[in-house]
Amino acid sequence: MTQHSSTTEQRPYHHGDLHSAIVGAALAVLSESQNTEFSLRELARRAGVSHNAPYKHFADKRELLAAVSAVGFELLAKQMTDATKDLDSPHERLAAIARAYVCGGVNNPALYRLMFGGYLTGQDDGRPPIERTAAEDMKALLVDAISSGALGRPIPNTTENTREIDGAILTFWSQMHGLTLLLVDRLVGPSEKMAELTESLLQGMLDGLANCIPAIPAGVWVGPPLAK
């Protein structure tokens, strides 16, 4: 009996994919509770591992939440990719990206706030590298739609056009981010109308961008900043 218990307790240390199990448990708790006030011990219990097991992969809770945020960006990018995979029109792809973005935030506000809030920003104003990489993958979908002609004309994705494309992305992101938070905080509603709201705001934004894309000053970044 004692020997069997000891073997069971040691089994978590040989977990096939402990990293993913802990991150998965964190995503589940975050979705259920809609806050980040959980402990690594709680996640270990959820994942069925010993309470010390998470520390084999994460130095602290911030490092874990950075991994959770990165998965959030990956999930959102997948939702965007799935929404656009059968669409040839750059305009339709951008509209589908907008709907997926707003829907993702409204359906899981706590994860959205973790991804786009300031919780993970360090004293150097930088964001964790694992999160930045995932966010850049998501940004690439926007760059592709915009450079392909979503604004009414192609804008080749070249160094010379970086500031113009970033200006369009910042305009798009500001609109969609604002709408998402307004819906989440119930300052705009009902949430059942979010697809129609997204379409309406997007069209107004595109009409404006067709005439003028705001100039981005040199040195401005769009996306999670690098550490200084």
Q: What's the predicted TM-score (pTM) here?
A: 0.82
pLDDT per position as a tens digit, 141-198 = 899 999 999 998 999 999 999 999 999 999 999 999 999 999 999 998 888 888 888 8
Cβ atoms of residues 214 and 166 within 8 Å: no
What is the C-alpha separation between 123 and 62, in angstroms, rounded?
Answer: 13
What is the C-alpha separation between 75 and 68, in angstroms, rounded?
Answer: 10
- The amino acid sitting at 17 is D
Chain center to CA of 111: 8
Tallying the residues shown for the chain, one arrives at 228
pLDDT per position as a tens digit, 145-157 = 999 999 989 999 9
